[in-house]
Structure 1
Amino acid sequence: MTSTIAQPLPGQTAKGIAFLVAGIAVFSIQDLILKLLSGAYPLHQAMLLRSLTAIPFLLILVHWEGGLRSLFTPGTRAMIWRGVVMFLAYTCYYLALAALPMATTVALYFSAPLFITILSVFFLAEKVGPRRWIALMAGFAGVLIMVRPGSALFDWAALLPVLAGLTYAISMIAARRLGSTETASALAFWGNGVFLLGALILSAIFGPGAWEGDAHPSLAFLLRGWVMPSGYDLMLMMACGVIAAVGLTLLTQAYRVAEASVVTPFEYTGLIWSVIYGWVFWQDWPNGSDWAGIAIIVGAGLYILWRESLKK
């Protein structure tokens, strides 16, 4: 996202940080809602209602930033393909939320900066020095600590946020390539369009309920048939569309008015909200090894972001 925004404005650092922290707080509410709904409704139902609700808000953003003509450019096909990758990323992320504590899901998802650094070497010909390679290895060691492969505590759902981090990283590499020609709102609009199409396809396959019955929370969230929602739950699903539009606006403004290298580390404030929500709603509290993994992943990510800023 950061590479799709106009050049930052001078003297606006504090405002940019405030916008980003607010945007992350808003998006954290969406994570909370989807985890609350995951035990009774299918993911594709929530995604469909979210995508439909977001359309008018995204059209306003498109009109404000570049007009409808910004949706139809030589890069439209690439924006749509990027939307497909984003759909895979967030589908994996949301399915992980159904089975894992929020803090664990968010922390493992923050492996994305590690993947972005690796992919930038192969696809953007960027140079990574030995210090950042050491930070990368440390970060992935933190991932292994939290995933616990081979142990009795291993849950395959822990691989989902890591896969989400990888696919999100691919989408960000694509955004760097598209950022010089396409607007952030156009990328968001086509991303939402892919979400809508993907939700329709999943609803056609799983909506009738012929595949439901799996006991694993992640698979149940994917395979469950459509359920008639209560008025309150319907409003929660639709609120996700509003949250997505408002959150996007705040994050867009953050990267518009301040340097990306300054505001990006504040995305890790999402971990604070995930720990708070996990404790308040599910009495989930990370154990010692989880805290160690979280600290290593966040530390490695922040170090890589800091080293990246030194190149500018």
Structure 2
Amino acid sequence: MTPAPSALTGLVLAVVATACFATLDASTKVAGASVPLAMALWFRYAFQAWSTTAAIIPTRGFRALRTEHPRFQCLRGLLLMMTSMFSFFSLQHMPVGEFTAIVMVTPLAITVLAATVLRQQVSGMRWALVAGGFAGTLVVLRPGGDAFGWAMLLPLGLVACNAWFQVLTSRLAQTEDPMVMQFYSGWVGTLVMSAILPFVWVTPTSGGVWLALGLMGLMGTVGHFLLTWPMPARRPPR
């Protein structure tokens, strides 16, 4: 197991991971305008699957891929894939800024799950912040207003899947190797999308689209690794 870093190191890595995800969102917006969903997600997960395989097998062998929780690893991979799908569809139907504002409610959902599922103590101040954050989300969504539409529900689906993904990641990170967790989540997405890829493949004609697809893979892989590695030092907020 990788030694748990300090809280400050975990915070810095979380900030860098957030920057990676911002780039991932922008790249998804560009790629989504030119290629089908399954193709974009295949590039995103294939990069993660093959890069983690190349990092693990030559140096540590196949024994390093053993996991105590294969079902949870698969579930985690499916949750991540669903998160990506909601992100892709959301960015096709709404501006990046509005999408980001709604997705920022994810830490609030994680706090609720941490208290109810992980049985962690949450202070009154934390609950007050959760209530304030939820009120801010309602301001962005403006339910009942003219601008409110079905597309607003897509990022909320992302929030739900991502919150469960983060809680499950927190549990697995206590016993599982971070790189191995990345290996399984990458291959789950790759195998599922590979079954669809032959039916939706469209060869990009623009170098910008190829760059966006590459950035999706790179930023997604790096961002999630940075979130996974310091996880023992950054459990869901108390």
TM-score, normalised by the number of residues in structure 2: 0.84
Counterpart pick for 1:162 among 153, 156, 161: 156
Which 5+ residue runs of structure 1 have no aligned equivalent?
Answer: 208-224, 262-303
Instruction: State the match for 2:5 in structure 1.
Output: 8
Instruction: State the match for 1:52 in structure 2.
Output: 46
Instruction: State the match for 1:133 in structure 2.
Output: 127
The whole-number CA distance in structure 1 between the counterparts of 2:205 and 2:194 is: 21
The whole-number CA distance in structure 2 between the counterparts of 1:5 and 1:103 is: 36
Q: Find the structure with the greater CA-based Rg.
A: 1
Distance apart, 1:259 and its partner CA: 4.7
Q: Show the 5 A alignment for 1:174-253.
A: 174-203=168-197, 207=199, 225-230=200-205, 232=207, 233-251=209-227
| Cα gap change, 1:96 to 1:125, in 2 (>3 Å) | same
- Contact residue 48 and residue 195 of structure 1 kept, 8 A: yes
Matched AA of 1:198: V
Q: Show the 5 A alignment for 1:1-312.
A: 6-9=3-6, 13=8, 17-62=11-56, 68-203=62-197, 207=199, 225-230=200-205, 232=207, 233-251=209-227, 255=230, 259-260=233-234, 305=237, 308=238
| SS of corresponding position for 1:189 | helix
Distance apart, 1:203 and its partner CA: 4.1
- More displaced, 38-47 or 238-247? 238-247
Distance apart, 1:81 and its partner CA: 1.1
| Cα gap change, 1:64 to 1:123, in 2 (>3 Å) | farther
The whole-number CA distance in structure 1 between the counterparts of 2:211 and 2:178 is: 27
| Cα gap change, 1:123 to 1:248, in 2 (>3 Å) | closer
The whole-number CA distance in structure 1 between the counterparts of 2:33 and 2:4 is: 43
| SS of corresponding position for 2:121 | coil
Q: Can you list the C-alpha shifts for 1:202-222, whole angstroms capped at 9, x where unaligned?
A: 546xx4xxxxxxxxxxxxxxx
| Cα gap change, 1:5 to 1:95, in 2 (>3 Å) | farther
Q: Can you list the C-alpha shifts for 1:14-37, whole angstroms capped at 9, x where unaligned?
A: x65554433332332221111012
| Cα gap change, 1:61 to 1:104, in 2 (>3 Å) | farther
Kindly indicate whether structure 1 or structure 2 has the higher relative contact order, using CA contacts under 8 Å at least 6 residues apart: 2
| Cα gap change, 1:180 to 1:139, in 2 (>3 Å) | same
- Contact residue 65 and residue 185 of structure 1 kept, 8 A: no
| Cα gap change, 1:80 to 1:5, in 2 (>3 Å) | farther
Instruction: State the match for 1:268 in structure 2.
Output: none
- Contact residue 77 and residue 189 of structure 2 kept, 8 A: yes
Distance apart, 1:87 and its partner CA: 1.3
Which 5+ residue runs of structure 2 have no aligned equivalent?
Answer: none
Question: How many percent of aligned residue pairs carry the same amino acid?
Answer: 26
Q: Can you list the C-alpha shifts for 1:204-253, whole angstroms capped at 9, x where unaligned?
A: 6xx4xxxxxxxxxxxxxxxxx54221151234313322333333455556
Q: Can you list the C-alpha shifts for 1:142-193, whole angstroms capped at 9, x where unaligned?
A: 1111112221101222222122111111112212221221111111111111
The whole-number CA distance in structure 2 between the counterparts of 1:65 and 1:148 is: 52
- Contact residue 10 and residue 234 of structure 2 kept, 8 A: no
Matched AA of 1:7: A
The whole-number CA distance in structure 2 between the counterparts of 1:24 and 1:120 is: 21
Matched AA of 2:52: L
